[in-house]
Amino acid sequence: MEVQEAPNKNNEPRKTSKISLIIGLLIAIILIQSIKIFLDYQEKAEVKAQLVNTEEDLGETMQKLKDIQTELDQKIVEIQKLGGEVTELQKAKAEVDLELKRNSRRSAKALKELKDKVEGYEELLKLKDNEIEKLKHVNTQLYSENRNLKTKQNRLSDSIVNLSKGKDELASKVAIASQLKAENISIKAVSSKGKERESPFKNRQLQKLKVEFNLADNKVAPIEGKKIIIRVIDENNQVIFDVARGSGTFMYNSKEEFYTAAQEILFDNTKQRLTYFYEKGTDYVSGKYTVEIYASDYKIGAGQFEIK
């Protein structure tokens, strides 16, 4: 007969205890993981909220800086007009400009430092408001005192101006009266044989152009050296000009102008007669020409001739 081994009743409780232990460990691990996931989520939410708050805080602070920048500009202009010192404001303005150009991403510590600076700038602006009021008061007093002084000065200045104006008017009248005048103006063509013809004339009759006139009597004009200039101008308003034949430039109405010929003379108020010979060297274009006469820098007469 085979002998059957009876089951060990002591092994069953052991198995049950081991399974319970494993289940308990699994539950504990799940709980720990759940708590960790919850805490990580909560931490991330707090960090995200903190970042949002930091960005909003930075945005507000940067906007304050921009407002301070504008107000600093206004204060600098206003204090300069009032004659005050603006070195401190200009230094603050440079610092603000630099802060606004920096990268907008800042740590919490850097943001705190920036806020402290903004408070400092705001306090500086308040102090400058008081300074502006004091400067305005001082300027008002000075204006009142200066106005009384200026009233007296203006009366004296008016007298001086009137006296000076009278002298200037007299000097102007004397200057105008002393201007020379060309009279008896004669313009003729001189041929190669020396024969003279009145205008109009042809090129074959014109070897030289002869311009002749008297300087009129003028008791006011001083006896002195004068440069008497003539300009021969064609219908296109072009001056006949050749440096090799004595032409040059002079100043007239603050502009440099060409002239055809000139003479240096001593004006002696004797109705002296001046004669100019100008040989062009080439034919004149047919048409009408104007001869203008100047004494240094003003016009004293004019005449015309025609080439057929």
Reported confidence tier of residue 301, pLDDT bands at 50, 70, 90? very high
pLDDT greater than 70 at residue 47: no
Q: Please compute the mean of the pLDDT values over residues 273-298 and round it to a whole number.
A: 93
- Using CA atoms, how far residue 198 sits from 40, 191, 212, 256, in Å, is 118, 12, 12, 32
Architecture of domain 182-307: Sandwich (2.60)
Return the closest-CA partner of residue 296 out of 222, 211, 226: 226
Return the closest-CA partner of residue 239 out of 228, 254, 229: 229
SS3 assignment, position 264: strand
Q: Please compute the mean of the pLDDT values over residues 231-256 and round it to a whole number.
A: 93
**pLDDT for the residue numbered 11:** 62
> What ranges do the domains of the chain cover?
26-177, 182-307
Sign of CA dihedral 185, 191, 193, 195: negative
Give per-residue pLDDT as tens, 124-138. 888 888 888 888 888
* Segments in 178-216 forming alpha helices (H): none
**pLDDT for the residue numbered 215:** 93
- Using CA atoms, how far residue 192 sits from 94, 205, 229, in Å, is 84, 8, 25
Note the pTM of the prediction, 2 decimals.
Answer: 0.46
d(CA 5, CA 96): 96
Asked if residue 215 lies in contact with residue 276, where contact means CB atoms within 8 angstroms, the answer is: no
Decide the pairing of beta strands 287-295 and 224-233: antiparallel
CA atoms within 13 A on the CB side of 59: 6
